[in-house]
Amino acid sequence: MFDSVSVAESEPIGGVSSGWLRAARWSALICTIALGVGFVAAAAAHDSMVALIFFGPWGSLSLALLYLLFRRGKNSLAFALGLGAATAFTGLFEVASIELSRSGFPLEVFRHVLFIVSFSMIMPPFGLMMGQSSPQLATLGALLLWLFSISLAMLGLSSIVAFQKMAHEEKGMGKLRLAFGTGICCPLVWPILMLLGFVFFGGFHM
């Protein structure tokens, strides 16, 4: 009897086993594949150490997220869904900012935020490939960036909806909400600390 209870507690709840969780897993997998292809291309064009510096943080985050999304514990799954939602938001924010700046949209108000996001390595690393003189490498970088961005958007949407299904079906959501919130906060800790440091030391002069 106790074995059956412990097994049931380790299983994800019914609604999360639906297509939304599968969509989050597939989106994370596509992001990981795109990062892997980008790393190989950047290593061939530059140096493996340069490629590791640019792709390492995102690659580590993507692999960790992919691993957590395939775990069956409810708390680890809630953490992974929060991490996926936050990762999608931060990545898409930087991609949108880059595209707006290229289109001539004035981003003077956001210049400090963009600097912090870029310096904290939240920025997707495909810009290393897009800025090359080789048209083939630049085109590959642009295609990978769009594939990565679409996958991030699907990852964020599916993560939020999957957790909402968890909240709707499960009772006693205190620990799961805490795990989800912790997952959201994890990718934002470093840029928030940098932002506070800039404010504290008078780094902003609007």
Q: Residue holding tokens 């790393």?
A: 39
Residue 37: the pLDDT is 93
**Distance from C-alpha of 187 to C-alpha of 61, rounded to nearest angstrom:** 9
**Distance from C-alpha of 23 to C-alpha of 19, rounded to nearest angstrom:** 6
Residue 196: the pLDDT is 61
What are residue 117's phi and psi, to 5 degrees?
-60, -40
Residue 172: the pLDDT is 56
List the one residue out of 61, 93, 97, 76 whose CA is nearest residue 187. Answer: 61
Question: Tell me, what amino acid is at 179?
Answer: A
**Distance from C-alpha of 138 to C-alpha of 73, rounded to nearest angstrom:** 41
**Distance from C-alpha of 120 to C-alpha of 143, rounded to nearest angstrom:** 24
Residue 186: the pLDDT is 79
SS (H, E, C) the chain: CHHHHHHHHHCCCHHHHCHHHHHHHHHHHHHHHHHHHHHHHHHHHCCHHHHHHHHHHHHHHHHHHHHHHCCCCHHHHHHHHHHHHHHHHHHHHHHHHHHHHHCCCCCHHHHHHHHHHHHCCCCCCCHHHHCCCCHHHHHHHHHHHHHHHHHHHHHHHHHHHHHHHHHHHCCCCHHHHHHHHHHHHHHHHHHHHHHHHHHHCCCCCC
pLDDT, block means (10 residues), the chain with 206 residues: 42 59 93 92 84 84 90 85 88 70 57 52 69 81 90 93 80 78 78 60 49
With beta carbons less than 8 A apart as the criterion, state whether 123 and 152 touch.
no
Residue 8: the pLDDT is 41
